[in-house]
Amino acid sequence: MRKKLEEMPLYRKAEEIRQTVRTICDLIPEENNYLQETKMHMLENTLVMQAKIAGAYSVNLWDLKMENAAIIRKCARELLVSYHSLTAFGFDEADYYLIVRKQLEEFRLLFREWVASFDPKKFIVDEWGLFNPPGIPQDYVQSDAELDFLDEDDDGLDFGFDPGDFEGYDSSDDNFEDEGGD
């Protein structure tokens, strides 16, 4: 699964952006606290983008894919405007960041194509009403037949464990102490 993920054009472009941002961040002076905060935020956004691409790749549910896609979009947009923070806080090498903005435009086009490939028939109603496919109202009652896709093989996804390892597992054997709370 990891190899197929890393071969995805969108993931490869996200990695290219991460590497470019990392290189530019290495030029940020240590003594400027504002730029250091901006640097941390930029690096975080690149990592979250890749993690959410992987998260969306590993599920078939349209609503979960769209939730990940929304977070990816947010991170990409924050990266896009980071140029303004770099210039506002006096980063002398800010013009290098225009490379990242070009890469983000290339990423955006790949992203749109990727999101269009999500299958809107493979969804579970989002009780929050935010990530239902087009035409599905918030109070939609889903029939069992609409959930048959849940029984399908997940395209050979490998999560690194054998479900058979859990046969005979009894959760009542777990000894967790109640830590109080509400």
| Gyration radius of the chain's alpha carbons | 21
Residue 151's pLDDT is 76
pLDDT of residue 58: 92
Q: With respect to residue 102, please indicate whether it lies within any of the assigned structural domains.
A: yes
In a domain, 87, yes or no: yes
What is the spatial distance between Cα 120 and Cα 23, in angstroms, rounded to a whole number?
Answer: 38
User: Is 91 part of any domain?
Assistant: yes
Average pLDDT on 125-133 reads 88
Confidence of residue 148 (pLDDT cuts 50, 70, 90): confident
74 within some domain: yes
- Rounded to two decimals, the pTM is 0.80
Per-residue pLDDT, 74 = 98
Cβ count within 10 A of residue 24:
20
Domain limits for position 19: 2-116
Amino acid at 23: T
| Residue 79 is assigned to a structural domain of this protein | yes
Residue 154 in domain: no
Instruction: Provide the residue count of the chain.
Output: 182
Sign of the CA dihedral with 107 first, then 108, 110, and 111 last: positive
pLDDT at 145: 84
Assess if residue 110 is contained within a domain.
Answer: yes
Is residue 13 within 8 A of residue 106, CB to CB? The reply is yes
Look over the chain and give the mean of its residue pLDDT values, rounded to a whole number.
87
Percent of residues, the chain, with pLDDT higher than 70: 83
Considering the chain, what percentage of its residues have pLDDT values greater than 90? 64
Q: Which of 21-30, 55-64, 126-135 has the lowest mean pLDDT?
A: 126-135
- Total domains present in the chain: 1
- Supply the CATH number for residue 38's domain: 1.20.1440.60
Residue-wise pLDDT for 57-110, tens only, equals 999 999 999 999 999 999 999 999 999 999 999 999 999 999 999 999 999 999
Contacts of 63 (CB under 8 A, 6+ apart): 123, 124, 126, 131, 132, 133
- Residue 46 falls inside a structural domain: yes
In angstroms, the CA 56 to CA 11 distance is 11
